[in-house]
Amino acid sequence: MPAGKPMQETPEPGSNERVAKVTGRPSPEKQAEAVAALMKQHGTMKEGQKWTLIASRWLEAWVNHTKCKAFWQYRPDEKSTGGFPAPDAIDNSPLKAPPRPGAGDTPDSIVQIRLNAQEIRDFFYVPKPVWEVLVSWYGGGPLVERGTKLAGVIEKRVKVDLHPVFLLVSKCKSDGEADNENTMALPCPREGNLGEVLKTLAAEGSSSSSSGSPKERKGESPMETEDSGETEGKETENKDKELPVRFWYLETKRKEFPFKVGERVEACYNNEWYIGDLDALPVEDEYNRYSVICDVDKKAGKSTPKTLVKVIRRVEKLEGEGDIVSTWRPVTGAQLTTELGILKLAKGGVCKLMVERKVEGKWVRELKIKKWRDFQVDDNVDCKDTQFKWLPAVIKKVRTGDVYVHYVGYKERWDEWIPINSDRLAEPGSKCKERGVDDDDYYSSSSWGSGAETRGSVGLRNLGNTCFMNSTLQCMNATPSLVNFFVDGDYLSQINPDAYKSHGRIAKEFGALVKEMWASRPHTVTPRNFKSAIGEFAPRFSGYAQQDSQELLACLLEGLHEDLNRVRKKPYFPDPAIGNGTDDEKVAAKAWKMYQAREDSVVIDNIYGQIRSQVICPECNKASVKFDECGILQLPFPSVDTKVQVITVVPADIAKPRIKYGVTVNKNGKIADLKDATGVLSGIKASRLAIAEVYTGKIYKVLSPKADVSSIMDNDVIYAFECPLLDPENMPGTGVILAKVKHNSEDHRSSITRESIPFVVALPARKMKAGEMKEIVGASALAHMRKSEGKGAAATSGRPFKIGFKTSSYGEDYKYDEDEEYDLGSAELLAAVVTWNDSDDYASVPIHEDKTIKDLGGAGGDMITLNGCLQAFTKEEVLTHGNEYRCPTCKKMQRGKKKLDLWRLPNILIVQLKRFQYTRAWRDKIDTNVDYPLEGLDMAPWTKSKEFKRNAIYDLYAVSCHGGGLGGGHYWAYAKNLVDKNWYTLNDSSVRKMSEQAVKTKEAYLLFYARRGFDGTRAARDAQAKSPKSSS
C-alpha cells in the first residue's frame, strides 16, 4: 500500500456530518511522511485551485503528535520528552459563523467562516489532498473549502477567497418553476457580479451543447442540460437578453393594501399608539405625513384634533394583509453589474437564483416587458432636479399619477413627488451614468487632463475648494496595504451596514473611488460621491469652504474604521490600564488588547500605534503611566508650543539690582504660569510678584493671573514687580492694594516721564492719610535718587521729589496735600506719581541681563529637522494652570511633570507638522522649512519599546503640501507610485512626474512613511483573513 493511502474508505469530502474516528491509522512517523509528500506535491498555491481550512488547535496537536515539519506556520515542540497523544476527530465547527440576518435557510453544503477568524491563530490553509487523507485517518469535519484567485495591484499574487458570496442556483424546469431538488452552491468573489457569471454559464452551455448533452448527475452543475442549445434571439434593449441564459431571483414581500381616507387606524405618536380616523394621506402634507383624528383628541374637545404622523396601521387587518408573497423576478440592469459584496440580493453572503436557458430559441418563462414609466418601488430613473441638473434617482413610493423619488447620494430632505409623465423623468442611464438601487458608486471620469499614463497616478477634479480633499485622497491612494485591500474587494466582506453615522457608506465610496483611480486607462476622476458621503459623516465637510487636509484625513480614518470595524458588539472595560513606570511592557500590552477588543479594523492594523504618557507628581514623585492609541502623530515645531518672554524683575529691596530674564512659558498657559517660571529664575515667591505691562514710563495694566499668556504681544514691555511685605502689627488692614507709581519731572523737556522705570508698592486696604502713604512710596523712590545731592533737595526736606496720588483713571489730577485722606478699602485703583524737582536728581537704575537673555542671541535658524520636531514632542513639560491632573496618591490636583514617548510603531506612520497655530488672540502659520528624510527615517531612538526598536526604519511615500497663507492657500500632494516607483506631483487634475530631490519642500504638511520591509500585499491578505467579530 503506498504511503499516505487511506486504509479504509474515505468519507465523502463534502459531508458536513461529524464522523467517528477511523481506526487502523498509520504510525505518527508514517503520517508525517505522507502529509509531507502531499505538501511537497500540492503545497504551492495556484490560481483556480481548491484549498481547505483546518482548525489551528487541531493541526497544532497533530503536528506535535507526529513531529511533522511540513507546515512553515507551525513547528513541533522539540523540547517535550514525553510525547503528545493523538488528537481526536477534526473539529472545524468553531470556524463556522452564526446565521447571518437576511441569509435565510442555507444548505449544509455552505459553510461560512466565523467573522473574526484569523489565519494561523484560528485556522490553516491546506491542499485538498491533505484534508482528505487527514479526515480518512481521524474523521471529523465539517469540510470548509475555498477557491483561489489572482489578485493584487502592486504585484499579482494568488490568494484564497475566504469570504465568497454563495450563489444557490437551481435549474428552471419545463413548467417554469425552480428545481429545488438539484441546487448547486456556486462560490463567487465579492468583487464579481452576476453579469460575469451569466457570460460564463452561456459559454459553458454552448460548449456542452456542441460536444453532446451529458446526462445530469447528482451534484453536477445544473447549468449543463440537454436543452442548452444556443439560439440567437432578437435584439432587445437589454443586453442580458442577447445571452441564451438569464437569472431570476425570488422576491419575497408582505401583501399590503393602500390606505383610504376615513379608515379606522392606529397612529404612532411618541412611541404610543392612538386609535382614530384617517383624515388625509401624505400627498397633502409637505413632510409626507398622515393626518389622523384620534379619538382621545375628539373626546378632549380640542379645536384642532388632527395629529400628523408617519407611521399608521389598520385597527382590523384586511383579508390577506401581511401574508408573504413570493414572486420570481428577472435579474436585470444594475443588479447584473453591481458587485456581489454590496448587492442586496446577496445579503448575508448567500444569493438564491434560478437559471433559465432557451429551449429551441424560446424562453421557458414569459417575461413581461414593462414600459419604463410603469414604475415600481426601487426602480431606477434619471431625474432632473429643481436646479435643472440630471441626477440618478430611485423610486421610493408610487401613487396614482405621481412617484416619490430619492436622489442617490443626497439627503432625504431633497426627496419629492413628481408626476409620472413629467419631462423631468427619463430612462435610467439615458441622462446619467447607469447606476442602481444597490450601486451608489458613481464617479464621472474623462480621458484627458491627467498628463500621466501610469496606473494609479490619476488626477482628481476640484469640485470647488476641494483641493484639501484631493491632496488627502492622493496620499491615501499611495498607501500599499489600503490599495490592495480596496482594489481587490476584500473590504466588501467586512463592511458593517450598521456602522455609526455612515452605515458603511464611507468604505463603499472610498473603495469605489480607489478602484476607479486604479483603472487601467489614464483618466481624471470626479470624487463627487465620496464628498457627499464624507459630508454626511462630518457635516463640516458638506459645503465648499476651504478646509484642513489633516482634519479630513482624521475624519476619513475614523469613518473607514467604523465601517470596517470587525467588532460588532463592543465589550466594556471599567478599569483602564495604568502603570507606575516599572511594568511598561505588561501595561502597554494590556492597554492594546483592551483597545483591540473594541476597535479592530484594517485601519487599526496598519496605521494606529501607541503613545506612552507619563505624569510625575511634584509632591510625592508618584509616576502615572498610560498608553493611548494614535493614528496621526502631531509634531510641534521646536519652541513653537512655548515662547520666551522677556521680563524685567524689580525687587522690593531698593538695594538689589533690576534683572532682565528670558522666561520660557507655554504659549497656551496662563499668567500664573509666567509668574511661577519667573519666580523660579529670580528666587522670589510667585505669590509676591505682580506681572504688569509698562508703556511710556508708566504701568499700563497689571495682568491678571487668570489671563492667557497669548494675550501678551511681541512688542509689549513686561515687568515683574516684587510687592513689599506689610507689617501686620504697625499697619493693620483688611487687605492689600497695589499702588502703581510712575516718575515725572518739573522739567517737561526731560525724558524721565517716557524712559523711567515705574514701580509698585503695597498699601493696606483701609483709610490712610496721604502723608503716611508718601512715606511708604518715598522709601522705594529713593532707589532712583543720585548719591550726590541734587539741585532741588533743600526745597523738599532733603528729598528731591514730591509725591501725589489719585484714585481715578481719567486725567492727571494728582493731589499732593498731605492731609488728604483716602479710603483704600473701597478704591478701585490707586496711582501715584513721583515728580522730581530736577532731572539731575533722578538716576536711572541699571538693569542687568540674566544668562537666559544672553542665550537668546544664538537661537533661531531658517531650517529645523524632523528629529528636532520629535525632540520637541517628547520634551518634558510642567502642566499648566487649568490642566492639572489628580494624583492618585496625594488625592488632589497637581501640576505634574508630563512626558510623551512613542511606544508601538505602526506599519504606516503618518506625521503632521503643526504649522497652524490658533489662540484667542492670534492665528498664524509657521513657514519654517523642515528637513525630513526621504529614506531611512530611524524611529528607534524615539520609542521606549524594545520590541519596536528592532524594525523601526521608515521610507517616505507621500506628502500632503499646503502653500499660501492662513485661512486660504492651496493643497496638493507628492506621491510615489506603487507600480513604477517614480514620484508624481498630484495637483487636482494635473499629474506630472517629478524628481526625487523636489519632494523636499517647505510647504510639507503631512508626511506618510511606510516601515521598511513592510509588505502591503501580505498586510492586505492578513486584513482579509480577519473579519468582523460576531455579537455572539
Q: Which residues are catalytic?
A: 467, 970
3-class SS of residue 682: helix
In this structure, how many other beta carbons lie within 10 angstroms of the beta carbon of residue 717? Answer: 13
At residue 548, what are phi and psi to the nearest 5 degrees?
-100, 135
- Across 924-940, b (16+ Cβ under 10 Å) vs e yields eeeeeebebbbeebebe
Q: How far apart are CA 979 and CA 520, in angstroms?
A: 12
Interaxial angle between packed helices 528-537 and 467-477, expressed in degrees from 0 to 180 and rounded to the nearest 10? 100
What Å distances lie between residue 840 and 393, 779, 786, 836, CA to CA? 90, 19, 8, 9
- Taken as a whole, the chain contains a residue count of 1032
Q: How far apart are CA 558 and CA 708, in angstroms?
A: 33
Q: Is 765 exposed, middle or buried (0-12, 13-18, 19+ CB in 10 A)?
A: middle
- Across 455-492, b (16+ Cβ under 10 Å) vs e yields bbbbbbbbbeebbbbbbbbbbbbbbbbbbbbbbbbbbb
- Alpha carbon dihedral 518, 521, 524, 525, in 10-degree steps, equals -40
* C-alpha grid cell, residue 695: 508703556
Residue 323: alpha-carbon gap to chain centroid: 44
Question: What sections of 599-645 are H helices per DSSP?
Answer: 602-607
- Across 975-988, b (16+ Cβ under 10 Å) vs e yields bbbbeeeebbbbbb
Are 7 and 25 contacting, i.e. CB atoms less than 8 angstroms apart? yes
Backbone CA torsion sign across 470, 474, 476, 482: positive
Strands annotated E in 281-338:
290-294, 306-309, 312-314, 324-330
In DSSP notation, 251-269 reads EEEE------TT-EEEEEE
Residue 855: alpha-carbon gap to chain centroid: 43
What Å distances lie between residue 312 and 85, 277, 305, 416, CA to CA? 66, 11, 16, 21
What Å distances lie between residue 729 and 726, 732, 763, 764, CA to CA? 9, 6, 14, 12
Are 280 and 289 contacting, i.e. CB atoms less than 8 angstroms apart? no
Q: Is 174 exposed, middle or buried (0-12, 13-18, 19+ CB in 10 A)?
A: exposed
* C-alpha grid cell, residue 366: 414569459
In this structure, how many other beta carbons lie within 10 angstroms of the beta carbon of residue 347? Answer: 17
Closest CA to 151 of 565, 506, 491, 517: 491
> Residue 402: beta bridge partners?
399, 419
* C-alpha grid cell, residue 983: 514620484
- Across 688-706, b (16+ Cβ under 10 Å) vs e yields bbbbbbbeebbbeebbebe
Sheet of strand 578-579: strand arrangement: 578-579, 623-630, 609-616, 897-902, 877-878
Question: Residue 183: which residues within 8 A CB-CB, separation 6 or more?
Answer: 107, 168, 169, 170, 222
Q: How far apart are CA 746 and CA 423, in angstroms?
A: 92
In this structure, how many other beta carbons lie within 10 angstroms of the beta carbon of residue 70? Answer: 19
Are 726 and 688 contacting, i.e. CB atoms less than 8 angstroms apart? no
